[in-house]
Amino acid sequence: MRSNREPFEFRATFSELDEGLDILHRSVEGLRKATGRGPDDMPLILFETALGEIGGNVLTHGRPPGTERPVDYALHFEGGVVEASLTDSGAPVHEHLGREMPTHESEAGRGLAMARSLLDELGYERDGGVNRWRLVKRL
Amino acid sequence: MALDVQTRQADNGVTVVAPTGRLDVAGAPALKDAISEAVKNGPQRVVIDMEGVSFVDSTGLGSVIAVLKQLRSSQGELRLAAPNQQVRVVLELTTLDRVFPYYATVEEALTGF
């Protein structure tokens, strides 16, 4: 049975691609269980898809060579709303934020457009030397 | 979780490629490599059996587009079989369901291919 009453919290730091992606998906699995949702729960599928896009970008572009700072990740669910935050020390990405869905032939460049359309809110800010991402969706 | 990719030849000569795991930015290269190897000297008709794929991201999808372009450049073709709900959502969101015909089962994808 679904439960939107109990808050759910998950925090992690990671540096490697495989490790980071595993942790992101594991956190959503934890939320799925905590809220009594099944594997076909559509709002959570859409959120996980957006999280995979932003998380994949952060882990591939947000950790330039020589970076020691790991990616900070937090997932919070309360009152029916899930919010994830990711912080990385990569280059600023303002110029990519408005990117539209590319043509069918394109092999890349869909991630941000997908995440925007899957979430209620996709926030980005450059804060000093870090990128802060905020993903919000009502489940 | 690394993407594991198995390939086999169906009775009608079509190559069936079966990835297991997440087809994402970490797993996409394994799928591209496996299909390139499988069609190097064989038929250019491929079915990707998606039943074992738990999750796809835009980079994973990009690898499927790359394979499709490679196959079509040599008069080949690609079909997807048994995508789960998350994969279907991503195909529809990106309107790539108009580019990749997908089938409920591998058997259906192989029929008339």
* Digit-coded pLDDT (tens) for A98-130: 788 888 888 898 999 999 999 999 999 999 989
Q: What's the farthest any 2 CA atoms get from each other in chain B?
A: 35
Residue A67 confidence (pLDDT): 79
Strand, coil or helix: A54: helix
Percent of residues in chain A assigned helix, strand, coil, to nearest 5? 35, 30, 35
Residue A13 counted as domain residue: yes
CB-CB under 8 Å, B58 with A111: yes
Judged by a CB distance cut-off of 8 A, whether residue A97 touches chain B is no
CB-CB under 8 Å, B59 with A21: no
Residue A2 counted as domain residue: no
Asked if B97 and B1 count as a contact pair (C-beta separation under 8 A), the reply is: no
**Taking residues B23-36, what's their average pLDDT?**
94
Q: Taking CA A138 as the corner, what is the angle to CA A137 and CA B1, rounded to the nearest 5 degrees?
A: 50
φ/ψ of residue A88, rounded to 5: -135, 170
Residue A82 confidence (pLDDT): 98
b/e B66-102 (16+ beta carbons within 10 angstroms → b): bbbebbeeeebebbbbbbbebbbbbbebbebbeebeb
A38 exposed, middle or buried (CB, 10 Å; 0-12, 13-18, 19+)?
exposed
CB-CB under 8 Å, B89 with A46: yes
The residue to which tokens 């980079």 are assigned? B59
A53 chain-B contacts, CB cut-off 8 A:
57-58
- Domain that residue A33 falls in: 8-138
Low-confidence ranges of chain A (pLDDT < 70): 1-3
Nearest CA in chain B to A53: B57
User: Which stretches of B24-112 are assigned E, i.e. beta strand?
Assistant: 45-49, 53-56, 77-81, 102-103
Residue B101 confidence (pLDDT): 80
CA distance A78 to chain B (A): 24
**Taking residues B41-48, what's their average pLDDT?**
88
User: Which stretches of chain A are assigned E, i.e. beta strand?
Assistant: 8-14, 71-78, 81-88, 121-127, 130-138
The domain that holds A49 is classified in CATH as: 3.30.565.10
Which ipTM score applies to this complex? Answer: 0.92
Distance, CA of A3 to chain centre:
22
Residue B100 confidence (pLDDT): 84
Residue A23 confidence (pLDDT): 97
The structure's pTM equals 0.93
Percent of chain A residues past pLDDT 70, beyond the cut: 97
Is residue B7 pLDDT above 80, yes or no? yes
Radius of gyration of chain A from its Cα atoms, rounded to whole angstroms:
15
**Taking residues B2-14, what's their average pLDDT?**
92
**Taking residues B33-62, what's their average pLDDT?**
92
- Domain that residue B48 falls in: 4-110
d(CA A104, CA A99) in angstroms, rounded, equals 15
Asked if B17 and B48 count as a contact pair (C-beta separation under 8 A), the reply is: yes
CA distance A34 to chain B (A): 20
**Taking residues B70-97, what's their average pLDDT?**
94
How many domains does chain A divide into?
A: 1
CA distance A8 to chain B (A): 23
Residue A1 counted as domain residue: no
Is residue B42 pLDDT above 80, yes or no? no
The domain that holds B15 is classified in CATH as: 3.30.750.24
Residue A129 counted as domain residue: yes
Amino acid residing at A121? E
How many domains does chain B divide into?
A: 1
Residue A119 confidence (pLDDT): 97
CB-CB under 8 Å, A46 with B58: no
